[in-house]
């Protein structure tokens, strides 16, 4: 059974700081997605990565997919209070969809 581990579990930083969160899998990802979930809402997709070594940027967010397709990182530059939320990584296979437990990020003004 595939295990997805996200670290850190909690992260509290000041506005303007940079941060990186991680997602590691016990097996190769079919495809990796990052979602953000805000309180009282369902997760919303940020990015999908499929190819090993892939790097995608979304404004101040940079997503990296490991060469071996077993790990990924999400880096946020100059964090803002609006970045606060639960960041989830997920492996989306054809018949198996698994989520990590998430990193809960708090950005203080």
Partner 1 sequence: DADVTQTPRNRITKTGKRIMLECSQTKGHDRMYWYRQDPGLGLRLIYYSFDVKDINKGEISDGYSVSRQAQAKFSLSLESAIPNQTALYFCATSEQGWGYNEQFFGPGTRLTVL
Q: Residue 31 or 84: which CB sits closer to partner 1? A: 31
Asked if 63 contacts 23 with a C-beta cutoff of 8 angstroms, the reply is: no
CA distance 39 to 34: 17
Token duo for residue 105: 């990020």
Residue positions counted in the chain: 109
Closest approach of partner 1 to the CB of residue 50, in Å: 6
Q: Which of 13, 22, 24, 31 binds partner 1 (CB under 8 A)?
A: 31
Residue 22 binds partner 1 (CB under 8 A): no
Residue from 64, 26, 58 nearest 45 by CA: 58
Place of tokens 């190819």: 51
Q: Residue 42 or 109: which CB sits closer to partner 1? A: 42
| Range 46-105, binding partner 1 (CB under 8 A) | 48, 50, 88, 90, 92-102
Which positions lie near partner 1, rule CB under 8 A?
4, 6, 9, 30-31, 33, 40-45, 48, 50, 88, 90, 92-102
């Amino acid at each position: 059974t595939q295990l997805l581990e996200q670290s850190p579990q909690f992260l509290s930083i000041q506005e303007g700081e940079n941060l990186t969160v991680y997602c590691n899998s016990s097996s190769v990802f079919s495809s990796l997605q990052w979602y953000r979930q805000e309180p009282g809402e369902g997760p919303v997709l940020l990015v999908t990565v499929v190819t090993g070594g892939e790097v995608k940027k979304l404004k101040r967010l940079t997503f990296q997919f490991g060469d071996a397709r077993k790990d990924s990182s999400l880096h946020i530059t100059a964090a803002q209070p609006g970045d606060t939320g639960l960041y989830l990584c997920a492996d989306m296979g054809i018949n198996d969809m698994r989520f990590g437990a998430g990193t809960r990020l708090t950005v203080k003004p």
